[in-house]
Structure formats: C-alpha cells, structure tokens
A and B are shown apart, each in its own frame.
Chain A
Amino acid sequence: MKIRVITILLAIILVAIAYLPVMAEDNSGQSTITMNTESVMGISLSQAEWRVEGEKDVSVNATYETDLPASWCTITNTGNTNVTIFIKGDDAKWVNDPSKKWTLSGTGDNGKNIYALWYHIKGDTADSYTLVSKDLTSMKWTRDAERLNLAKHADTQQFGLKLLTPTQFIGGRTMEANITISAVAA
C-alpha cells in the first residue's frame, strides 16, 4: 500500500513592524534685527532763472509757460530725509525801483499790476495747474490732493510754471520775482 503523506507546513509569520515614519519635525525661532540710519536734509533745483519770452518783452494779459510745461525744473532730494516740498511766490519788483511792483494774485485773476503764477507737476492731470501764492504752501498733486514728497536720496520730481501778466502795466520796466521752493521733513 502506497501511503502518501503530504505534509504541508504553512508557517505564516506575521511580522508586525511598527513602521511609524520618523517625521523630522521642523521648528524654528526668529529674531527681528533692526538698524536705524542717520539723516541729512537737502534739495536742489535744476533751474535758477526763468526769462519769460527770453529777450523779448511780455504783453499785457498774456499767458506764458516754461518751455517744458511739466518738466522745466527738476527738484532733487540731495539728502536722505523724506521731505515735503513747499512753494512760495512773491510780488514782482522793478529792478530799478523795487517799490514799483506787480502784485502776485491770490486768486488767479490778474488785474492792473497784478499778475498770477501757477505750477504743474509732471505726471499730474493734464493741464492742471495750481496757484502759487505769497504764503508758503505745500506743493500738491491736483489728481489726489497728495503732497509732493521726495522720500529718499536722489528722488526727483519735475514741474513747470505758467504766468499770466497784468491787464495793465507800465512798459519798459524789467520786473523780477522770486519763488522759493523749500523742503520740510515729512
């Protein structure tokens, strides 16, 4: 008799590997380091003179613009302080007798021996002009009424001027007016 013994040994070994991935957890700390800078204030102007009409005479009740209406004069921050730019006009005086004047208009209207002066900042709304008065006033953009600022060294802004002569004046007199551009720490 042929006895066939089949022995099947099924060994199932369950290896329970606790395979917990070792997560390399990040963690960090941060420190904020600050440094303060020293300040110096200064501006420069690219123009020192405007000869209206050059060597020619100006007419009564006439409007004149600088040859570059928006970029005739460049204001440069030569310091490093954030500054606001101010402007102040003055009466125009006869160079031979400063007591003889053209009064700077406070309204933009001209008149007998009354002239008006405006500025336009480059990049502002087209054909927008702001009146220059004898009061020290911050230059502003007409588009949003924001003050003209030069935040840091070498920042620049440009502007041009427009002048309206009096409706009546004595001809032949050379009139001279000074406008002052100044910077105040913002």
Chain B
Amino acid sequence: MRLGIISILLAGILALIPCLPATAQDSGNITITMTGAKDFSINLTPANWSFGTVSPNTEYKTDLTQFTLTVNPTSTCAVNTYITGEDAVWADDPSGYSWTLSSSEQNDVGMYALWFKVDGEESYIPISKTEIQFHSTTLGPGDSKQFGLKLLTPQPDFTEGATVYFSVGSAIVQTHITISAVAA
C-alpha cells in the first residue's frame, strides 16, 4: 500500500516537470538580446560672436535666432541640455583684466551679466557659472533650438570728462558660453 502511494506521487511529480528537450526535434529558437548604445552629439553655432564695441553699464541683445543648438540627426537618443557661462577676460592678458560673470543679474564694477532666451519662449534666463537647464524638455535627434543673448556690461572703471570707460581700451574682452547635453 505504501509502495503504491509513493509510485503515484512520483508519477505526479514527473508529470509536472517541464518537457525535457526533445531528442528528435526539427527546429529550435535562439533568443538574442541587445541594448543599443545611446550615442549623440550636439552642435552649437556660431562658434564665435562679437557684440562689437561696448560701453559700460549698457545692455545689448542679439537677435533671438543668432545662435542655434542642434541635436545631431544621427543621435540615438533624446538629450537634456544645460548651459553655463564664464568670467570674461582680456584676450591679450587674461590675468591682467577680467569681468566676473554675475550670479545675481546685477552688474557692478568689473562684473557683467548675461542671459539667454530661446526663440519662442517668454523671458530671458540668467546664465551663471553654475550649470542650469537650457531647455525644459528633452530634445530628440534632429531637434534644434534657436536662441539669443542679452548682455549687461559692467559699470565703468573710470570717467574721463563726461565719458565713462573700462580700464583697458581698444581691448577685446572674451568669454564663452557652453551648452552640454546628457542622454535622457
């Protein structure tokens, strides 16, 4: 009787075991799994832009289509974008004269402010040395955004007669804006 019960249980267990590979099957499946890399690149144009000759404590704006950020169409993913700025330095002697990039949208002696505005957006956003989001939504392959800059030059270093000046004359003061992208 006990032997009979054991036999029945064993038969049941065997029935529950998934089918073992058929010894004479005529086809088979191989599942291949791959994850595509997230490759992308962005392009910012133009690489150089000049505001021309600027006066102290004065605001200047570029056209809102002056700069274009494009996500390369061959990219394989959407990206989040960020923008950052730098102090501006005298091209001939970077350590000799510079303007600090304001973090408060206020200018001062030796301190300038910079903003950007994406074409179609409502307001200018201050650029600082701390990275901030450039565009609120992700940008996909082939997407592009045009934007402009607004510059507020520093307050004057000195006054000669009734005219205000910076400490270096006929000088090129240079800065960079950097837009970086991270895969979304």
Q: Using CB atoms and an 8 Å cutoff, list the residues of chain A in contact with chain B.
A: 1, 3, 5, 7, 9, 16, 18, 20, 22-42, 78-82, 151-154, 185
B155 to chain A, nearest CB (A): 13
B127 to chain A, nearest CB (A): 10
Pairwise interchain contact B167-A152, C-beta atoms closer than 8 A: yes
Q: Kindly list chain B residues whose C-beta atoms are within 8 Å of the C-beta of A38.
A: 53, 55, 165-166, 169-170
Which A-chain residue is minimally distant from B53 (CB atoms)? A36
- B-side interface mostly: strand
Which B-chain residue is minimally distant from A7 (CB atoms)? B13
- The 7 closest A-B CB pairs, nearest first, are A39-B169, A29-B44, A80-B169, A28-B180, A153-B167, A39-B170, A36-B53
What sequence of 0s and 1s flags, for each residue 151-164 of chain B, a beta carbon within 8 Å of any chain A beta carbon? 10100011010010
Pairwise interchain contact B181-A28, C-beta atoms closer than 8 A: yes
Choose one: A3, A7, A26, A27; the contact of B3 (CB below 8 Å). Answer: A3
B144 to chain A, nearest CB (A): 12
A99 to chain B, nearest CB (A): 40
Known: A37-B171, A80-B167. A30 touches B178 (CB 8 A): yes
B85 to chain A, nearest CB (A): 9
Known: A31-B48, A152-B167. A40 touches B160 (CB 8 A): yes
Which B-chain residue is minimally distant from A21 (CB atoms)? B35
Choose one: B17, B46, B54; the contact of A35 (CB below 8 Å). Answer: B54
**A3 CA / B181 CA spacing, docked (Å):** 70
**A20 CA / B34 CA spacing, docked (Å):** 9
Known: A3-B6, A80-B166, A152-B167. A35 touches B172 (CB 8 A): yes
Q: Using CB atoms and an 8 Å cutoff, list the residues of chain B in contact with chain A.
A: 3, 6, 10, 13, 17, 33-35, 37-55, 67, 69, 79, 88, 91, 93, 96-97, 114, 149, 151, 153, 157-158, 160, 163, 165-183
Q: Kindly list chain A residues whose C-beta atoms are within 8 Å of the C-beta of B37.
A: 20, 23
Pairwise interchain contact A40-B169, C-beta atoms closer than 8 A: yes
Pairwise interchain contact B171-A32, C-beta atoms closer than 8 A: no
Pairwise interchain contact A31-B51, C-beta atoms closer than 8 A: no
Pairwise interchain contact A5-B10, C-beta atoms closer than 8 A: yes
Pairwise interchain contact B49-A32, C-beta atoms closer than 8 A: yes
Pairwise interchain contact A153-B165, C-beta atoms closer than 8 A: yes
Q: Kindly list chain B residues whose C-beta atoms are within 8 Å of the C-beta of A16.
A: 33
A-B contact pairs, 18 of them (CB 8 A): A24-B183, A25-B38, A25-B40, A25-B183, A26-B182, A27-B42, A27-B79, A29-B44, A32-B176, A33-B174, A35-B52, A38-B166, A81-B169, A152-B96, A152-B169, A153-B157, A153-B158, A185-B170
Pairwise interchain contact A31-B177, C-beta atoms closer than 8 A: yes
Pairwise interchain contact B47-A32, C-beta atoms closer than 8 A: yes
Choose one: A9, A28, A81; the contact of B170 (CB below 8 Å). Answer: A81
Q: Kindly list chain A residues whose C-beta atoms are within 8 Å of the C-beta of B40.
A: 25, 27
Which A-chain residue is minimally distant from B44 (CB atoms)? A29
**A28 CA / B83 CA spacing, docked (Å):** 9
Q: Kindly list chain A residues whose C-beta atoms are within 8 Å of the C-beta of B38.
A: 22-25
**A81 CA / B44 CA spacing, docked (Å):** 34
B69 to chain A, nearest CB (A): 7
